[in-house]
Amino acid sequence: MEGMEQWKDQLEQLKIQLEPWKIQLEQWLHQAIEYLDQIPPIQLYAAIAVLFISTLLLFSIRLFKRTKSNTIVLTGLSGSGKTVLFYVLRDGSSHQGTVTSMEPNEGTFVLNSEINKKGKIKSVHLVDVPGHSRLRPKLDEFLPQAAGIVFVVDAVEFLPSCPSVSEYLYDILTKASVVKKKIPVLICCNKSDKVTAHTKEFIRKQIEKEIEKLRASRSAISAADISNDFTLGVSGEVFSFTQCRNAVTVADASGLKGEVAQVEQFIREHVKP
């Protein structure tokens, strides 16, 4: 009981000690209120609004990141027409032509064909990754946030480049980030306006055939130096794209002529407006 008494005493003392502070605080509060009264209400509201909006923005950014991204990655071998496709999708024309890219092109924009459309249109974040084999490691930076991959193939010079095309596609299709997130892939046969261009069906079959060969040779490499994280297709069956866990589709396009409707459709399917 004595202990309690002592406690109470101490509490009283504390209260007495705190009294001046309390008064001080109240004074400050009064001052603050007075000060606020002096400020015109519009400014006050504006300040509150700014605070509110900024927090909202922060939250929305986080929300957007959590929801599906709007990044579409353009990839493929060097010289297949990725940069042209990028500018056609963005501006509607390839301007004065392109040369081999040394750095990725990136942009967030509303597709050129949809600029005149009414209503809310979600803009697309398009990345054009250089195709030169020395620059391929760059692709890994963009894949984790990709909502879709457009794999551009040169339909005219297809046959000589078929092995390397397939190998690159194989690498992409077996990347962990692609398989786990089931990122859809569109094989876009570019330059289809040319007379000598191969049809997309032919290209699809050739790539499937080539990947079948790759599967044999890649799975043979001993476990220690496997750079791919997943194997492709079902063992014991001939490979076809339908076996992939992510959707793989084929489309025609012509960057220079501006015929990119199928690519736009693909983008719209995976970046919902």
Partner 1 sequence: MLEQLLIFTRGGLILWTCKELGNALKGSPIDTLIRSCLLEERSGAASYSYDAPGVSYTLKWTFHNELGLVFVAVYQRILHLLYVDELLAMVRREFSEIYDPKRTVYNDFDETFRQLRREAEARAEELKKSKQTDKPVNNKKKQGQVQKAGSDKGSKKSEGSLATDGGDGDKAKGHKLENGHSNGNHVEMEEPRAGVVNGKENTSSNISAFDVSKLQKRTKGGKKTDTVVNKGSKPDPKKKATKKNRVWDDAPPETKLDFTDPMDGNGSGNDNIEVVAANQGESMMDIEEIISSDSEGEVDDNVQKDSKPKKKGWFSSMFQSIAGKANLEKEDLEPALKALKDGLMTKNVAEEIAEKLCESVAASLEGKKLASFTRVSSTVQAAMEDALVRILTPRRSIDILRDVHAAKEQRKPYVVVFVGVNGVGKSTNLAKVAYWLLQHNVSVMMAACDTFRSGAVEQLRTHARRLQIPIFEKGYEKDPAIVAKEAIQEATRNGSDVVLVDTAGRMQDNEPLMRALSKLIYLNNPDLVLFVGEALVGNDAVDQLSKFNQKLADLSTSPTPRLIDGILLTKFDTIDDKVGAALSMVYISGAPVMFVGCGQSYTDLKKLNVKSIVKTLLK
Residues that bind partner 1 (CB under 8 A): 78-79, 83, 87, 91, 95-105, 128, 130, 132-137, 163-164, 167, 213-214, 216-218, 220-222, 224-225
> Residue 68: what are its φ and ψ, rounded to 5°?
-65, 140
**Are 207 and 185 contacting, i.e. CB atoms less than 8 angstroms apart?**
no
Q: Tell me how far apart the alpha carbons of residues 251 and 253 are, in angstroms, rounded to a whole number.
A: 7
Q: Considering the complex, what minimum distance in angstroms separates the CB of residue 171 from partner 1? A: 10
Q: Considering the complex, what minimum distance in angstroms separates the CB of residue 132 from partner 1? A: 6
Query: Which amino acid, one-letter code, is at 191?
Result: K
Q: Considering the complex, what minimum distance in angstroms separates the CB of residue 100 from partner 1? A: 4
By beta-carbon proximity to partner 1, the closer residue of 213 and 268 is 213
Strand partners, 250: 187
Query: Which amino acid, one-letter code, is at 187?
Result: I
Q: Considering the complex, what minimum distance in angstroms separates the CB of residue 194 from partner 1? A: 17
Q: Considering the complex, what minimum distance in angstroms separates the CB of residue 174 from partner 1? A: 13
By beta-carbon proximity to partner 1, the closer residue of 71 and 98 is 98
Strand partners, 75: 151
By beta-carbon proximity to partner 1, the closer residue of 46 and 221 is 221
Query: Which residues fall within 8 angstroms of residue 271, CB to CB, at 6 or more apart?
Result: 68, 70, 72, 122, 124, 147, 148
Q: How many CB atoms lie within 10 A of CB 141?
A: 12
By beta-carbon proximity to partner 1, the closer residue of 40 and 97 is 97
By beta-carbon proximity to partner 1, the closer residue of 17 and 217 is 217
**Are 245 and 185 contacting, i.e. CB atoms less than 8 angstroms apart?**
no
